[in-house]
Amino acid sequence: MNESGCTTEEGLRRELVRFSRWLSRLGFTPGTSGNLSVRLDSRRLLVTPTGVSKGLVKASDMVIVDLHGRLLAGSRKVTSEISMHLAVYGQRQDVGAVVHSHPPTATAFACSGRALDEILCQEAVMTVGAVPLASYAITGTAEVAASMRPFISEHDAILLENHGAVSYGVTLLEAFMKMETVEHLAHVALVAHQLGSARPLGRDQVQQLQSARTKYVENVQEEGLSPQSGERTGRTYSD
């Protein structure tokens, strides 16, 4: 079960469609690129298939795979990038959903060999923190997962060199918003450096924000809220 308010396979299929469409509308998944997944239960994942536009994907298109990426059900093929999803689920038992997409500005950083690890604004600390850069790996191969593994346990979003980005969370909503935030932070960093006067936060400032975030997360969890959104878990974006 995915801890998002959806407890049925039908509900999770609808969530995958909803957030696939939002990513498409944002321009994060041009063509048939990108893929999303959720935990269906302790042994299975529900995943967007290969070769389908995220703006046009249907609930019936989704495929079910085991934790080795083997197809269990569905009329379409499993994405060749399933290994990056499996790597995250394998290391993070708290993760219930994974999003891979190609947000333009963040991908430009990845194509320039630059991580988003310069903390320029408070929002970065309060949301995804520093976003590391995984070394170059050929898409659709096990090398992608291997390049991500050093960062998965300590980060909730990763840039993939010359490729795109991956984000993950308890729910699809959290994973989606982290991807959205990564692109926002990349745009802020780009403009700040274009202005020529970027001023990163100091160590003490970052530590103060980290303490504030810890208290915030504790408070919203007591209230049954999503730490990322401040909203009740189970909130989803309407079509």
From residue 31, give the alpha-carbon distance in Å to each of 26, 53, 114, 181.
13, 6, 25, 22
Does position 218 have pLDDT exceeding 80, yes or no?
no
**For residue 197, with 0-12 CB atoms within 10 Å meaning exposed, 13-18 middle and 19 or more buried, which class applies?**
exposed
Q: In the chain, what percentage of residues exceed pLDDT 90?
A: 74
Q: Which domains does the chain have, with CATH numbers?
A: 9-222 (3.40.225.10)
pLDDT in tens, 26-72: 999 999 999 999 999 999 999 999 999 999 999 999 999 999 999 99
More confident residue, 123 or 55: 55
Tokens of 93: 């038992």
d(CA 203, CA 192): 19
d(CA 87, CA 94): 13
Residue partners of 149: CB distance under 8 A and separation at least 6: 87, 91
d(CA 169, CA 184): 18
pTM, full prediction: 0.88
More confident residue, 139 or 7: 139
Does position 232 have pLDDT exceeding 60, yes or no?
no
* Catalytic center residues: 81
Does position 93 have pLDDT exceeding 70, yes or no?
yes
Q: What does the pLDDT read at residue 101?
A: 98
Confidence of residue 183 (pLDDT cuts 50, 70, 90): very high
